[in-house]
Structure 1
Amino acid sequence: MALPPHDFLILYGSQTGQAEGIAGDLQKDLSAAGLNPLLFCMDQFKKFDLTQERLVVIVCSTTGEGDAPDNANRLWRQTKKKTLPSNHFAQLSYTVLGLGDTNYANFCQMGKNWYKRNRVDTCLPVEHLNHTNPASLKDLGATCFYPPGFADDGTGLEIVVEPWRAGLLDALRKRLAELPPAAPAASASEAADPGASSTAAIAAKSAVPVGNAILRLPRLHKLTFDVQLQAPETVDPETEMPTPTTTPYRPAVLTRYRVLTAPSAVKRAIEVELAIGTGTAGHYSPGDAFAVACPNRPSEIDLFLSVSGHAETADHPLSFSGAVPAHLENCRTLREVATSALELRGVPKKAHLRLLAEYCLEAADRSHFLWLSSQQGGNDYTANVRNSTGGLLEILVKCPSCRPPLHVLFTCFAPLQPRFYSACSAARASPGYVRFAFNVVDDISSPDGQAPEDGTTARPGLCTTYFEELCLSLHDVRPADVADMRAKETRGQWVGPATAIKVEDVCTPTALPTDGRLPVRVLCEEHWHDHGQPIIMVGPGTGIAPFIGFLEAREELEQAVRDKALEKWVTAVSRETTSSGFKYVQDALRANATLVSKLLLEEEGSLFVCGSAINMGRRLDEQLETIFMTGAGLSSEDAAIARARLVTEARIKKDLW
């Protein structure tokens, strides 16, 4: 069937409706900007022919173990056929927006598949290509005209989606100007948009009047389970919680710790050692990360119970029905849910704020939730929700008329995630043990992690303070004696229990330990294999800790340099005004821009970064493109594409907190 005249296609593959909604919004916004797109679901592939199209925008989610959504599966199977020639889509320009969730394996796999399968490597300068890369053999000749976006539903799709959408219009206009003119727009009677009914339905569902404004809102979240409090029977919170027959966690025992900083230091850095057992249980490689399960803090648990309206019945048994999420399956009471199942500090997604608006008794609270969840309220959402340290719990405290039932409340809080720590030891050097190093975060809302001096309430880091409390247990001191204990500590001196803990005493439990042992697990994904490619390691402060594991597996720093296991060692000192070297690691990277560009772009190297997400990760992202422009002579556009390629190929490894 011949399509009406159009500038380009928007194709979506959607399992739950999120990709469909975003594609519909794109079609509406781009049409309002004067462009002429057609919208199709991928299962309508008989209505279009990509070999005859010149421009396409793909929006696709991922389901299962990195699989295509049901309505995209047939088109994907056709596209990935190995019999297709390498110039199958030679006339096609495209971009991809992938939706995924980092809480699951194979994040954004389908978005990455569409990007890799279609791309042509000539979007990078020829001198920076690796023509032996197996992925390039699958290329079908299409040109990626705009860097792909990979949005994370685990942290909020809008973080990636909204900036990606903001830049898409200019990229489309630029590309359309470079292509031959499209056929003239059809009349209203001729141009019956095959996706119009779908788009109209999306718009109708996402537009809600508030006052004199029509807000564009996310769809109402679909609820899959229900929860009921059972009375009057209670569950003793001191009894052991039931545990799944299979658990990814294994026990570890805190054996000793040492303080790495002087008492006068701005930050308190601690190194802890855990016994994790022998055999396969104790095997790990340099660069591997461990996930530490820690409970929420008691003060925040009490606040959640108060907000729920069920503080008095927090220890009554719960009854679940429907498709219960895995993180709630073994919780017997509301207190157990608040303690170990929900991320009480989590930032709510816009879809959850939209859902909570339905349970506000006061019009002002309802309007507030609707505004924050709307597209028009994006700036306020970023400033007051995304960049706030209070999270959903604080929002509910400020809006007391919002009283959602338990199953809605549980839905709006994300699952409690483990905190990840990279090993700063090597299994071969310390068999059966692993060590972590970290700064104790006294206040997560402070840029340097230190407690506020203005009298406001500090919000200590969840896992670093949990670790420190375990360290206190080795001294058998009361919380009130913490200051005295710290004063007696000696920098660099290991502190352990009177009776040493033997690694062979650590065994696999039948339940998560409740006797003071620390439940941890090793990530299944392996971060690095030494295949001879160069690696660049960036780590300010305690961020250097995981790299000690790399070098311990080889040798100490000086010996590593002599043996050329470590080719170059560059330091930057930010707190010493008399330093004649670099002040920040970004300065050191810029000064070595040519070498960094050569290692990453020509020699297919990897970049490892460990440090603060705000002070290290974000600033490094800002500088990397500048480094490529300076060191490799790339244009700003090619530098952005080069950085996107490193991300897509998982050659930028970050351990940020």
Structure 2
Amino acid sequence: MAGSQRSALVLYGSETGNAQDMAEELGRLCARLHFSTDVDELDAVDLNSLLKHQIVMFVISTTGQGDMPHNSLLFWKKLLRKRLPPGCLSQVNFTCFGLGDSTYVKFNWAARKLVRRLEQLGANRFFDDGEADEQFEDGIEGAFSNWGERLHNHLLEAYPLEADQSPIPDDAVLPARWSLAPALEKIKDSSNGHHTQDSEPMVTGPPPERPLPIPDGWTATIVENSRLTPDSHWQDVRQVSFDVQQRPAGEVLQTNPGDCLTIYPKNFPEDVHRLITLMDWTSIADVPLVLSLCPSLPRNLFAPQPCTLRNLLLENVDITAIPKRSFLKSMSYFSTDEYHKTRLLEFTQNLYIDEYFDYATRSRRSILEVLEEFTSVKLPAERLFDIFPLIHGRDFSIANGGATSPSGVGTRVDLLVALVRYRTILRKPRQGLCSRYLASMPLSSTLVVSRKPVLSPIHGSANAQRPLIAMATGTGVAPVRCLVHERLSHPNPGPMLLFFGNRNREADYFFEKEWEALHSGGKLEVFTAFSRDQDKKVYIQHLVKQQADKIASLIRQGAIFAVCGGSSKMADACKEAVFEPYKSAGEPEERERELNALTWWQEIW
């Protein structure tokens, strides 16, 4: 099939936005080959949609313990319906690209489960699936680029163009998928190109406190924002606590261990003003926009009405993100300097992927900084959503049992937040968007948050009777604390072991008094490793090996393992410290089967 019949559907299941970015890139790839292309999240389509397209492409990440992303759970339930006949998808030609992290036991399971189920229903693979590993030297970007290049060549061969057609060249700008042009044209029509600002826009201070219309959101008030580490310590770790208000109908937020509270950060006015000035958007930045005039808008755009271009930049558009290669390519289209254009395009080529990583990823350059460097680039405001990424909510593991707030109304939620500050080869200190946002918020500030439920639960009365072996480093102790609280709420919980590691006891022993009290009361065995407190570094995996006999006994009692922290090396080392002694102490094949059946719950970030 060719010409007008060429159609492609690109679907993504994404947690942090990486799979979505890659799906959008696949959409552009197909558009350049003259496919009529739709790109959307998995939960937005039904199974009949798969039958209406010549080819279907899936990009899906694995989250949690081999789980499907939250925005693909409804689609997955549809696929699993028992009444579906085996050949119902026999007309579907598909391929799949999976994103995963090989430090997890169930690496890339979401993609593999999806492919297996599609094939059970008769779907046919038209191109070999691809997989990316967060641990790859070139990251997931490198794996995706290589796979995408091979896919492009296959599509040209398997779905040839008409005789009078040729691919749309890379140096040609594709039509905008989402355009602000109708809303901006309304401004020009109503003001004849002139607008007088009644008052000076806010260009300094903290982000606005205006609530965002988050679907299924909860209004929360900050009641604690206290630093747990000494002021002299290199890392600022805080306990940030919220009182989450009950809803007007009386509904109260309920939480479980492993749940996350999602915070939606905003940009700072001075950064937004720098961008507006740099892009020559000053004359249109503060005029009200009627977004309903736009034929389509990005999914997950949470824009209060009324709004302006400045509002969108403050609250919705991520101008501090590390630029993807697709962003740099978009910049090249609007550069008036040949050197700038050539340099930007080099970053997008597979041959120069190392240069891209050195320039953007390793140095942690922000979009704003890149635009300030390539001053010849003037991006059109109507392409705002087509070029810039949206701000994604940041997930933080809930660190307490979701107790009723002291006011007696609503829910108290504790978070353990390490503020992201660091230096790179650029020397200028880097700071995470959400870290800066939270640090700027005084007590009593109000914002809208959402709850992300755990997908592989290890709580509940039955699980509480099983032994728990928790291994946590740094702020990874937050979900462990929540789980311990929950287990203690059930009668006669099983034995609990906590292996906690960090750099210094005096600076980094989070919730020390709680752990010591539980240890003294015989409710929790605590083993600590503070790597910098002695000449020879000691890590938690060393302590785990020392307790091999005790751990082996608990494995045979159906123990739950929880491994949480910010290092994939730590997770691998802990797994080895558990698995190797256990396998070597008995019949290898039998022990291997027992280890494969373990409940191994892991959260690494």
User: Is the Cα contact below 8 Å between 1:235 and 1:317 reproduced in 2?
Assistant: no
Q: Which residue of 1 aligns with 2:361?
A: 386
User: Is the Cα contact below 8 Å between 2:219 and 2:447 reproduced in 1?
Assistant: yes
1:149 aligns with 2:131: yes
Query: How far apart, in 1, do the equivalents of 2:553 and 2:305 lie?
Result: 51
Q: Which residue of 2 aligns with 1:401?
A: 376
User: Is the Cα contact below 8 Å between 1:343 and 1:413 reproduced in 2?
Assistant: yes
Q: How far 1:376 moved relative to its partner? A: 1.9
1:551 aligns with 2:484: yes
Question: Secondary structure of the equivalent of 1:310?
Answer: coil
Query: How far apart, in 2, do the equivalents of 1:59 and 1:18 lie?
Result: 12
Query: How far apart, in 1, do the equivalents of 2:155 and 2:438 lie?
Result: 58
Q: Which residue of 2 aligns with 1:489?
A: none
One-letter code of the match for 2:415?
F
Q: Which residue of 2 aligns with 1:111?
A: 111
Question: Secondary structure of the equivalent of 1:404?
Answer: coil
User: Is the Cα contact below 8 Å between 1:97 and 1:151 reproduced in 2?
Assistant: no
Q: How far 1:341 moved relative to its partner? A: 0.7
1:517 aligns with 2:488: no
Q: Which runs of 5+ in 2 are unaligned?
A: 1-7, 12-22, 32-49, 61-68, 88-93, 101-106, 123-127, 149-153, 189-193, 203-207, 489-513
Alignment of 1:562-573 (within 5 A): 566=524, 569-573=526-530
1:284 to 236, 255, 266: 255
One-letter code of the match for 1:259?
R
Distance 1:347 1:633, change over 3 A: farther
User: Is the Cα contact below 8 Å between 2:25 and 2:326 reproduced in 1?
Assistant: no
Alignment of 1:452-601 (within 5 A): 456-471=427-442, 516-525=445-454, 528-530=457-459, 531-532=462-463, 536-555=469-488, 557=515, 566=524, 569-577=526-534, 583-588=538-543
Q: Which residue of 2 aligns with 1:260?
A: 228
Query: How far apart, in 1, do the equivalents of 2:210 and 2:387 lie?
Result: 24
Q: Which residue of 1 aligns with 2:205?
A: none
One-letter code of the match for 2:287?
H
Q: Which residue of 1 aligns with 2:508?
A: none
Superposed CA offset, 1:263-309 (max 9, x none): 43333333233222356434222332112233212332222222322
One-letter code of the match for 2:395?
F
One-letter code of the match for 1:323?
S
Superposed CA offset, 1:185-214 (max 9, x none): xxxxxxxx997242789x9648759xxxxx
Choose 58-67 or 458-467, whichever is displaced more. Answer: 58-67
Q: Which residue of 2 aligns with 1:433?
A: 412
One-letter code of the match for 2:243?
A
1:162 to 142, 161, 173: 142
One-letter code of the match for 1:149?
E
Distance 1:597 1:416, change over 3 A: farther
Choose 276-285 or 418-427, whichever is displaced more. Answer: 276-285
User: Percent identity at matched positions?
Assistant: 16
Q: How far 1:253 moved relative to its partner? A: 2.0
Q: Which residue of 2 aligns with 1:304?
A: 275
Distance 1:592 1:149, change over 3 A: farther
Question: Secondary structure of the equivalent of 2:224?
Answer: strand
Query: How far apart, in 1, do the equivalents of 2:553 and 2:169 lie?
Result: 50
Query: How far apart, in 1, do the equivalents of 2:470 and 2:267 lie?
Result: 33
User: Is the Cα contact below 8 Å between 2:226 and 2:240 reproduced in 1?
Assistant: yes
Query: How far apart, in 1, do the equivalents of 2:400 and 2:74 lie?
Result: 39
1:417 aligns with 2:392: yes
Q: Compute the TM-score of the two structures, normalised by the length of structure 2.
A: 0.61
**Residues matched between the structures, number:** 472
Q: Which residue of 1 aligns with 2:72?
A: 66
Q: Which runs of 5+ in 1 are unaligned?
A: 1-11, 25-41, 48-57, 70-75, 86-93, 101-106, 120-137, 141-145, 169-192, 210-216, 447-451, 475-514
Distance 1:458 1:195, change over 3 A: closer
Superposed CA offset, 1:25-79 (max 9, x none): xxxxxxxxxxxxxxxxx979999xxxxxxxxxx963469953999xxxxxx9799
2:218 to 250, 256, 274: 250
Superposed CA offset, 1:548-599 (max 9, x none): 2222334454676689875x533221221257xx623455567678998999
Q: How far 1:342 moved relative to its partner? A: 0.9
Distance 1:207 1:535, change over 3 A: farther
Distance 1:379 1:96, change over 3 A: same
Q: How far 1:433 moved relative to its partner? A: 1.4
Superposed CA offset, 1:219-247 (max 9, x none): 95852323325541558668x99877774
User: Is the Cα contact below 8 Å between 1:257 and 1:273 reproduced in 2?
Assistant: yes
Q: Which residue of 2 aligns with 1:174?
A: none
Which of the pair has more CA radius of gyration?
1
